[in-house]
Chain A
Amino acid sequence: MDADFFPKWKSQVKKGTLTLIALNTLKGQEYYGYELIEHIKRNTELEIAEGTLYPLMNRLKKEGLVSSKWIEQESGIPRKYYALTKAGEQVLTEMNQYWKELDKSIQKISR
Chain B
Amino acid sequence: MSLDFLNLNQAESKRLYGDYVKEIKNVISELPKNDQSDILMEFNSHIFEALKKDTTDNEADRLASVLDRLGKPSNVLKSYIADKNLQQATKTFNPFHIIKALILNVYNGISYSIFILLYLFLFSFIYLIFAKLLYPSEIGLFVSKSSFRLGTLDSDNFPYQEILGFWFIPVMLLLIVLFYLLITFFLRLKQNATSKIKYKLKSD
Residues of A within 8 A of B (CB): 32-35, 37-38, 48-52, 54-55, 58-59, 63-64, 70, 75-80, 87, 90-91, 94
Known contacts A58-B80, A77-B6; decide if A33 and B45 are in contact (CB<8 Å). Answer: yes
| Chain B residue contacts of A33, Cβ below 8 A | 42, 45-46
| Chain B residue contacts of A52, Cβ below 8 A | 71, 76, 79
How many pairs, one residue from A and one from B, have CB atoms within 8 Å of each other in the complex? 74
| Chain A residue contacts of B1, Cβ below 8 A | 70, 78
- Distance in Å: Cβ of A38 to nearest Cβ of chain B: 8
| Interface residue total, chain B, C-beta cutoff 8 A | 29
Residue in A49, A64, A76, A77 whose Cβ sees the most chain B Cβ within 10 Å: A77
| Chain B residue contacts of A80, Cβ below 8 A | 41-42, 45
Q: Verify A54–B41 contact, CB threshold 8 A.
A: no
Closest to B76 in A: A51
Closest to B198 in A: A63
Instruction: A51 to B75: give the CA distance in the assembly, Å.
Output: 9
Known contacts A59-B83, A77-B4; decide if A50 and B69 are in contact (CB<8 Å). Answer: yes
Q: Verify B49–A79 contact, CB threshold 8 A.
A: yes
Which of A35, A37, A49, A76 is B76 in contact with, Cβ under 8 Å? A49
- Distance in Å: Cβ of B200 to nearest Cβ of chain A: 11
- Distance in Å: Cβ of A53 to nearest Cβ of chain B: 9
Give 19 pairs: A residue, B residue, CB < 8 Å, sorted on A: A33-B42, A34-B46, A35-B49, A49-B75, A49-B76, A51-B75, A51-B77, A52-B71, A52-B79, A54-B39, A55-B80, A59-B79, A75-B48, A77-B44, A79-B45, A79-B49, A80-B41, A80-B42, A94-B201
Instruction: A17 to B197: give the CA distance in the assembly, Å.
Output: 18
Q: Verify B80–A49 contact, CB threshold 8 A.
A: no
Closest to B48 in A: A77
- Distance in Å: Cβ of B60 to nearest Cβ of chain A: 19
